[in-house]
Amino acid sequence: GRWCGVLVGRGVERGIVERWLLESDGVDWEAYAQVKGCLKEWLGKVVPVYRDDRARVIAFVGPSGMGKTTCLQKLAVRYKLAKERKVGLVSLDTYRIGAMEQMRSFSVVAGMPLKVAYGPEEAEEAIRSLEDMDVILVDTPGGVGGVDEIVKSIGPDEVHLVLAANAKEGDMMEAVRRFGGFPVSHLLFTKLDETISPGTIVNVAYATGKALSYLSDGPRIPEDFHQATPELLAGILLEGGYGGTGETSS
């Protein structure tokens, strides 16, 4: 009962919580470590998470204002510093002057080549011109119109739909539907530090069967950017903290 209240209070659908409780035997519900371990194990079975980072061309799509460009930059830094990969950048977001400037200055500071593409043929050429890169990250404008054709033309290995964790769950589900034609392979959630209902991300992943890739909980690059794991999710749901340490994010 107590844990049901905690998780529902954090925005997880009651039906999902009840299924967890039903499928969890032999747990001492008074022992927090056991409860967290049990939740982590169960989430690992029912919510797909990112298991592979061998993808070479990764596109970021989603509605405007979700933080796609910032997420791309965080992932670029992660690949370069933590994984020592050569990273190339492609921007299709030629509509917003600010977005282009942000990408240009980032590419200079980070020492990563940036190609700008205005249509499918230019996008294909941009990918070809970065063939000696280990990984290529593709930024797109907000919305679907025309972008899906360009994204399909480059045939990315992964398409991450970027959504804000503080949005209404119905809006998240509508975005998954609207961007379904890309096709979306992963969900990436931003603004986890701006919601008291992080459980909605589990609801959306559970309902759509899309794998969770990364979670972002602040502006710092790359500290506020975490690979989604069952352990991290269990910590967020039970404690509201990050990294499973019980510390809450500022």
- The Cα-based distances of 229 to 45, 155, 235 in angstroms read 11, 27, 10
pLDDT tens digits for 201-244? 999 999 999 999 999 998 888 889 999 999 999 999 998 755 43
Cα dihedral 150, 153, 159, 160 in deg (nearest 10): -10
Q: Distance between CA 249 and CA 241 in Å, rounded?
A: 6
pLDDT at 52: 67
Question: What's the whole-number mean pLDDT along residues 40-64?
Answer: 89
Q: Tell me the two tokens of residue 125.
A: 């050429």
CATH of domain 57-228: 3.40.50.300
116 pLDDT above the threshold of 60? yes
Measured in residues, the chain has a length of: 250
Domain boundaries defined on the chain: 57-228
Question: What's the whole-number mean pLDDT along residues 8-16?
Answer: 96
Q: Distance between CA 56 and CA 83 in Å, rounded?
A: 13
Rounded to 5°, angle at Cα 222 from 70 and 86: 85
- State the chain's mean pLDDT as an integer: 90
Q: Distance between CA 39 and CA 75 in Å, rounded?
A: 27
CB 71 within 8 A of CB 188: yes
pLDDT at 127: 97
Start-end of H helices in the chain: 2-9, 14-22, 32-46, 68-82, 97-110, 120-129, 147-154, 169-178, 199-208, 230-239
Query: Which amino acid belongs to residue 192?
Result: L
Beta strand pairing call for 211-216 and 225-227: antiparallel
Please classify residue 187 by burial: count the beta carbons closer than 10 Å to its beta carbon, then call 0-12 exposed, 13-18 middle and 19+ buried. buried
Long-range contacts of 239-247 (CB under 8 A, 24+ apart): 240/10, 240/196, 240/198, 242/192, 242/215, 242/217, 244/36
pLDDT tens digits for 153-184? 999 999 999 999 999 999 999 999 999 888 89
CB 231 within 8 A of CB 243: no
- The Cα-based distances of 9 to 25, 38, 195, 241 in angstroms read 23, 19, 12, 15
Closest C-alpha to 237, from 246, 225, 227: 246
pLDDT at 241: 56
